[in-house]
Structure formats: structure tokens, C-alpha cells
Chain A
Amino acid sequence: MEILEQKLLNPFKQFGKGSKVLIGILLVVIALGFLAWVRQLTLGLSVTGMNDRVLWGVYITNFVFFIGISHAGTLISAILRLIHAEWRRPFTRAAEAITVFSLPFGAASIIADIGRPDRILNVITYARLQSPILWDVICIGTYLISSCIFFYVCLIPDIALCRDRLEQAGKARAWIYHKLALGWQNTDRQKRRLDKIIAFFSVFLTLLVVSVHTVVAWIFGMVIQPGWHSTIIGPYFLTGAIFSGVASVVIVVTILRKLFKLEDFIKPVHYDNLGKFLLAFTLLWFYFTFAEYLTTFYGSETSHMSVFNAKFFREFSGAFWLMVILCFVLPLLILVRKKTRTITGLVIASISINIGMWLERFLVVVPTLTRPRLPYSQGTYYPTWIEWSITLACFAGLILLYVIFARLFPVVSIWEMKEGKEKAIAEVTDRFKAYQPQISR
């Protein structure tokens, strides 16, 4: 066995004590969330904090947030692959897994939100293409299926490796590996086919990433409500999605690095690159936010201004300014200086970005609803424990899927690392030569 294989295959041979405890805790949280959901099903959505004015709340916030962090995988894996960024190799797998595992909880948030989940199939049988919700169903459905296929296809060579190398892992596991490897034998024909599929999905998923989060934003943007009805909302949401997605990659990768002792594979230089990437998105996010609110403020239409004031000065001002600090000030201060752009710094910035982005989603959804155009009384919204426990259950579910995955499959793509070692240097040299002017030869 090669050293590389050994290092990457060793850590996950069996469930340790720690992971068993963690899985136990997660299952308890999920069970509580499930109980809350059952209570909500029996008593109706009256058990939530939502009311006649604020008809959408934490559930929709979670939906947008989960779809947002799901953009991590595709971005790192597909887009960085497309531009031949060699530093992507050690964490493509970890990023793709975030995509695949967070998307189902985006869907789950919708199930939790709607009043009649038993009629969810009406969306297919009575589908009306005119509704932005249907655009979402189509885009997110396609995205979920394609990213699952992409994730699985990229996993096949490594499953085959597990099948060949981890015979001692137990019967059940051996059987899983054997079935999932689909008879992969590392032949040239199979490799060529794999490359072809990956090349196709890299392009396809990149297009999907843009469409998915744009239509998520359009759910709000298409509706004539102050604060939502803006042309910028699609790109603004997309930027935020990639922003929080990459930040989640940083968090997840750091945890994996620590647990599986991957310091050799994920080095400070990778963090530095990710840090620069996050820095660019910090600035981009601020640019969009600034453009959005300046336009509103300068135009100062009554209905728009009442939402603006609610965010800047009234009951949502705490959350709003906290969001500005968490999404912009803090990450900027950390990421802009080389001295603080360390692993710890990056993790702090990433956690701050993710909390900030959740707040941002919340501040898009709720303040608009509290300010009706007609002189009704203003809306208020205080989420209840039901909403919080379902939220926590969704996050716990995401972590649980990740833990199980990390215990069964290599979290670093072994075949891609090998490929990088064997081919990439030659490829990069060739590419570099191609850039050179003719004369210098």
C-alpha cells in the first residue's frame, strides 16, 4: 500500500468512541426536531411564531441558507476544476459532500414550512410554470440529482480502492464497497469515461449553481413587495451563497484535518488561497449590499423606506448591524492582512460569515413582511421553540450525514491526489510553456 493511500484510508476504518457519542447526540437532536414537527403537524402552524403579517420566518430562512451553503461543493469542485486550479485537489470531496448533504435539508425546510405537506405532490400534478416556486422545484431538483451523480461518480475509484484495500473492515462494509464500486477496475477505458462525465458535469453544475440560487432569490424578487422587488436580488443571493458555501468548506475541512490528521494534505497554502477567495467575496458582498441599500435610500419611496428604517434603525437594527460586522467588518479585518490570514483566523472568519449570512437571509425574509403597504398594524415575529428545534434538527441531520460519510468513505479524493501527483506537474509545465512568447524558446 502506498503511503498516500495508507494515510488517507487508515483514519476511518471504524467508528470510534467519539463518533458514536456524537452520532448519539445528533440523533437525540433530530428526534426532538421530529417531535416538534409532529406537534406542528397535529396542531397546525399556529405553534410557530408566524402570524398574519409575517407569513414566512425561520423555515424559509433555513431553506435559503441550506441552498446557499450547498453551493460550496460545486464551486470548489466544478468551477475550480474548470479553471484547472490545482490547489483544489485535497478538498474537492469534502466540499461536494456539503452540497449533497445540505440540499436535502433545504427541501426539508420547505416541507416544514408548508401548511399541507400531505399535498406536496400537487406541485407536480398541478404544476404551474408561471410560479417562481415551480422554477425552484425544477432547478433545485435538477441540482440535487446532478450533484448526487457527480459526487458519486467522483467517489467510485475510491470506493473501489476501499473494496480492494479494506477487506478486514467487516462483512457489511465490504459488501457496501463491493456493490457501490460498480466493478471499477481502473482500466483506461473506465478512466476516460470518468473524465468525460466529470468534464460534462463541471460545466453543467456551474450553470446550475447560477440558476439555482438566482431562482431562489426570484421567489422574493418577483413579488412586488418593498425590499424584495429588486433586480439585484438574484446576483446578490448568488454571491451570498458562494460566500457562505466557501466559508462552510473552510470550517468542515478544518475539522476533518484535525480529526483525521490531514495536516500533510491540507496545508497553510491552501488556507491562504481560500482566504483570498473569501476576501474577494467579502468585498463583493459588501458591494452588493451597499448598492442595494443606497439605491433604496436615495429613491426613498415610502414603502421601501419603512422596510429600510426597520432594518437600519428600528427593531431589526441589532440584527442588521451584527450582520454587517459578521459578514464584512470582521472577515475583512482578518482576511486582509497576511499575518491574520492563518488557519485560526480563517476559521473565525468563516464561522462569522456563516452566522452573518444566516442573519442576512433572515433580514431579507422577515422585515419586509412586518411593514404592510396599507395602514395595518405592524407585524412582529418571535420564533418559537418548535421552529428552533426543527432548525437544529436540520443542522444535526446535515452533520450526521457528514459523520457517517466520513466514517465510510475517504474524505480526501485519493485518486485525484494521485492524479495530481502523476499528471499535474507535466500538465502545468505544458500549460506554462504554451503561455510563453515564441521568441523565448
Chain B
Amino acid sequence: MKGQYVQSKISRKDFLKLTAIGSALALANLPKKAVAAPLQKKKSKYRFCMVIDLRRCVGCHACSMACKVENNVPLNIEQTDRQIFWNKVFFEQQGLYPYVKEKIYNRPCFHCENPPCVKVCPVGATYHDQEKGLVLQRNERCIGCRYCALACPYGVRYFNWAKPNYHNRQDALNPDVETRSKGIIEKCTFCIHRLEKVIEKAEKEGRAIKDEELHYLPACVQTCMSKARHFGDLNDPESTVSKLVRSGRAFRLLEDLGTEPNVYYLKEA
């Protein structure tokens, strides 16, 4: 056969036809699951959820501070408009004097079921954890494009504009939590390092997680002096959070955006 030109039996036109038919068949035979998957809600093993009782919150900022200490969030005192708050307390003034009312909200990450931030990340640095149903962050992968922070309608994502500054309190850092570098995004993890310990322990003992184990798990919940915060697993219908979510007072922020947040609020009245 050396040096001989072999005429292919299939012409170009036929080849194109075959390719078209082939790909059509392949598409038609795609497993139903693959097509339907994005439409169906994936059920994660756990659905960790926080319920915040607005009637009880006094706006003391203790949750924000506890979070900062627990998660090695830099202080960055010198940068006033670039403060990082994994948990933030903010206020809304309503009405005119003398009928004024101040509404207090406090806000961790909402750990949406349909997170807009995860969708847009070009490198998968932020991802939706299938087991715990949490939106988590891979610090070592983030390129710092800040697209996720723009996509998040709740503004829970924070960028490290400068090298994290702990103001000589490095020795007080929490060894369980990785510190972040300059130029990447960080956000609330529902204290994943504490959660993992609980899950591990339960798995070792071969049992399911107890509701009590979760009650005061994240630092913000643990520290709340007015017990305004509750934490638990929504997949367990008997958990405290499930009961609270079923109550008539429960609502979520910007629910019409379809992000399906896992943080519920309880109305003041």
C-alpha cells in the first residue's frame, strides 16, 4: 500500500450525513437523567439551615464578631469600605418621625440551593457541596475575578483587597480554619470545620447526627445572647429548625429570585 492513494468509499457529503444522523441518535439516547437532572432538585444528605428570629435580635453585632474570631477573618481596620464580614448585621429605617422603626437584619451566607455564585465561577472555586448542601469555597483555586460576588444578590461574598491584616494577633488565629491570601474571595461556611467534626463523630459511632449536636454549632449561633439564631438539619422533619420553618412566621429574603436560600427569618410580628 506504500505511496498508494486509497480512495475512501464514503464521500464527504455522505460523511456529513452520517455524522448528523449519528449525533442526532446520540442525543436522542442520552440518559434521561442527564437531561432532566438540572430540572430536578438534587437532594443532599444534609440540608443545614439557619433560622434567625427577628423578634429576638437586638442588633448587638456579637454574631459578626464571634464569626470573625472563629474563622480568622482579617480585621483590616485601615480599610473602611473593604471590611470583611462573613456575618453582617445591617439596619433599615422605616417610616417618618415620630413613627420611626428600625428593622434589624443579620445575615450569614444563605447557602442557596440554587446558588447564582456557583453558576458563574469560571474555575469551580466555589461549589455546592452535594453531601451537606452548603456553598463552599476552594481557597487555592480562586483567581479573584469577583464574578461570584457580583452574581450574589445578597452580597455575602467578600474580596481580600489587600493582604489580610490581623494587627499582630496572629497567635490568636484558629488553627482549624485556613487563612486566606490577598486577591481571593471568602465567605461564610456555616462553620464547616465544626460541622465536619460532628459528622465524623456520628459516622464513627455509626449513628445519625442528633439535633442537639447542631443546636449551638456555628460560632454566631453559639454566641447569640438573645437566642435569636437556630441551626439544624432541614432534612430531619423533627429538628428545631424544621419546626420553626414550618411556622407561619418563617420567610426568606428576596425569595422571588429563585435562589432557594437555606437561611430563614422569623417575622417580628
Which residues of A does B touch, CB under 8 Å? 43-46, 50-53, 55-56, 113-117, 119-120, 122-123, 126-128, 130-134, 137, 219, 222-225, 369, 372-376, 380
Contacts and interface: CB of A to CB of B under 8 A. Distances in A.
B167 to A, nearest CB: 16
Nearest to A49: B81
Given A127-B122, A131-B120, A115 B160 contact: yes
Contact of B162 (A44, A137, A369): A44
B158 interface: yes
A52 B90 contact: no
B153 A373 contact: yes
A376 B155 contact: yes
A376 B152 CA distance: 14
Given A45-B183, A114-B143, A374-B90, A51 B153 contact: no
B141 interface: yes
B123 A123 contact: yes
A116 B123 CA distance: 13
Nearest to B143: A119
Given A115-B184, A131-B119, A44 B160 contact: yes
A44 B125 CA distance: 20
A16 B257 CA distance: 61
Given A52-B159, A55-B149, A44 B141 contact: no
Interface of B: 79, 81-83, 90-92, 103, 105, 107, 116, 119-125, 141-147, 149-151, 153-155, 158-163, 181-185, 253-254, 257
A45 B76 CA distance: 14
Contacts of A123: 122-123, 143
Contact of B182 (A44, A51, A52): A44
A127 B123 contact: yes
Q: Which of B92, B119, B123, B182 has the most CB of A within 10 A?
A: B123
Nearest to A48: B161
A120 B155 contact: no
A303 to B, nearest CB: 9
Nearest to B88: A376
B183 A133 contact: no
Contact of B151 (A43, A223, A373): A223
B82 A52 contact: yes
A223 B116 contact: yes
Contact of B83 (A52, A132, A369): A52
B82 A375 contact: no
B146 A55 contact: yes
Given A223-B151, A224-B116, A224-B257, A375 B105 contact: yes
A133 B184 CA distance: 17
A101 to B, nearest CB: 25
Contacts of A53: 81, 155
B190 to A, nearest CB: 19
A46 B257 CA distance: 31
A133 B147 contact: yes
Given A133-B147, A375-B90, A119 B161 contact: no
Nearest to B120: A131
A114 B124 contact: no
28 contacts: A43-B162, A45-B161, A45-B162, A52-B81, A52-B155, A52-B159, A55-B149, A114-B183, A115-B142, A116-B183, A116-B184, A119-B141, A119-B142, A128-B123, A131-B122, A133-B122, A137-B122, A223-B147, A224-B153, A224-B257, A369-B150, A372-B155, A373-B153, A375-B90, A375-B103, A375-B105, A376-B90, A380-B81
A96 B155 CA distance: 42
Contacts of A46: 79, 82, 161-162
Contact of A114 (B145, B155, B158, B254): B145
Contacts of B90: 374-376
A117 B181 CA distance: 13
A126 B123 contact: yes
Given A45-B159, A127-B123, A375-B92, 16 more contacts: A44-B160, A44-B162, A45-B144, A52-B82, A55-B150, A56-B146, A56-B150, A115-B183, A116-B143, A119-B141, A128-B122, A128-B123, A225-B153, A373-B254, A374-B107, A380-B81
B123 A122 contact: yes
Contacts of B142: 115-116, 119
A117 B149 CA distance: 18
